[in-house]
Amino acid sequence: MKPQICTTAGGRRIAFARYGDPDGLPVAYCHGTPSSRLEAAVAEAAAKKLGLCLFAPDRPGYGRSDPLPPANVAAWSGDLAAVADHLGIPRFHIVGVSGGGPYALACAARLGERVRGVALVCPLGPIQDPALRRTMSPAARLAFFLAEKAPWALPLFFGPATAALLRRFPRLTFALLESQLPESDRRTLADRRIRNLFEAGIREGLRQGGRGARRDFVHYVRRWGFEPAAVGQKVTLWHGEADRVVPVTQSRILAGRLPRCETRFLAGEGHYSLPCRHAESILYHLVLG
């Protein structure tokens, strides 16, 4: 799918894609890490069925969006607002998946009434807390350690060479994860169509040599630029209790910091099975529930 481009007042390009009904109720989609706008294709069928238009931007350094040096999570709200303005969308709902969760909350906090409601799907929690990082995989813990203590070293861990390898062989990402994933995730990724969608998102996300992912790692360990308590909209938080990529402990803590949060913790579901199996329910409850 050819990317659509929004150009900011400063001349920076933001790439985005749309899925579902182009004339439908708008829902912004915040992709995970490392991924891209193409990840939103996982929810395309559900969006069409419900008459929704998903619009999914690439964050800076991902896909076709121009890079930016690190700032904080909240700063990205300006990019999402620019894309919404470009599309003539005054108000919208927002969904954040995995590493897109903090960005979805930031947009809700910063853009106020423009965001109608929020859905978080297996979101990354407030991992400035080292105890939460210890719930994650060794590779994730190393990335966050470097992002906090030695961001200059991040390219050695997740740099152009690694990105090029994963772009050429995106199956490696899931091959490395396979033994750690619960049965529900393994069954989901055994579906070639679904796996292809996730692999396409990762391949496109690494187009710029991992710049976007390195920027995200730094953002996650810094102060986010807003407090979850500042999110006044209703938030529905979905998390699989079998998730081993972002353990459900993170959502339990995050939910306690959100003033209007309804939780849906699903037994047996993992990081990939949840958004794939429950996309329709997630979107329905976001806009119609």
Question: What CA–CA distance (Å, rounded) separates 274 from 212?
Answer: 24
- By residue range, what is the domain housing residue 77? 4-287
For 165, the token pair is 């390898």
- Per-residue model confidence (pLDDT) at position 173: 73
**DSSP 8-state code for residue 244:** S
Question: What CA–CA distance (Å, rounded) separates 161 from 163?
Answer: 5
- Per-residue model confidence (pLDDT) at position 188: 96
- Per-residue model confidence (pLDDT) at position 232: 98
Distances (CA, A) of 35 to 148, 198, 226: 21, 8, 24
Contact 244, 274 (CB under 8 A): no
- Per-residue model confidence (pLDDT) at position 162: 84
| Distance, first Cα to last Cα, the chain | 31
Task: Provide the residue type at 90 as one letter.
Answer: P
Q: HSE on the CB side for 202, CA within 13 Å? A: 19
- Per-residue model confidence (pLDDT) at position 280: 98
Contact 54, 25 (CB under 8 A): no
Residue with tokens 């896909």: 63
Alpha-carbon torsion, ordered 279, 283, 286, 289, to 10 deg: -100
3-state DSSP assignment of residue 95: strand
For 89, the token pair is 């969308």
Question: Domain containing 90 — which CATH number?
Answer: 3.40.50.1820
Question: What CA–CA distance (Å, rounded) separates 37 from 59?
Answer: 8
Query: Is beta strand 235-240 parallel, antiparallel or unpaired with respect to 261-266?
Result: parallel
The secondary structure element, H or E, covering residue 221 is helix 211-221
3-state DSSP assignment of residue 44: helix
- Kindly give the confidence (pLDDT) of every residue in the chain, 289 residues in length, as a single tens digit, with 9 standing for 90 and above: 788 999 998 999 999 999 999 999 999 999 999 999 999 999 999 999 999 999 999 999 999 999 998 899 999 999 999 999 999 999 999 999 999 999 999 999 999 999 999 999 999 999 998 888 888 988 889 999 999 999 999 998 888 888 888 888 777 777 777 778 999 999 999 999 999 999 999 999 999 999 999 999 999 999 999 999 999 999 999 999 999 999 999 999 999 999 999 999 999 999 999 999 999 999 999 998 7
| Number of domains into which the chain is organized | 1
- Per-residue model confidence (pLDDT) at position 70: 87
- Per-residue model confidence (pLDDT) at position 168: 81
Contact 233, 241 (CB under 8 A): no
Sheet holding 92-97, edge to edge: 4-7, 13-20, 52-57, 25-30, 92-97, 115-121, 235-240, 261-266
Those residues with Cβ within 8 angstroms of residue 281's Cβ, 6 or more apart along the chain or in another chain? none
Question: What CA–CA distance (Å, rounded) separates 64 from 79?
Answer: 14
Residue 196 phi/psi, 5-degree rounding, is -60, -40
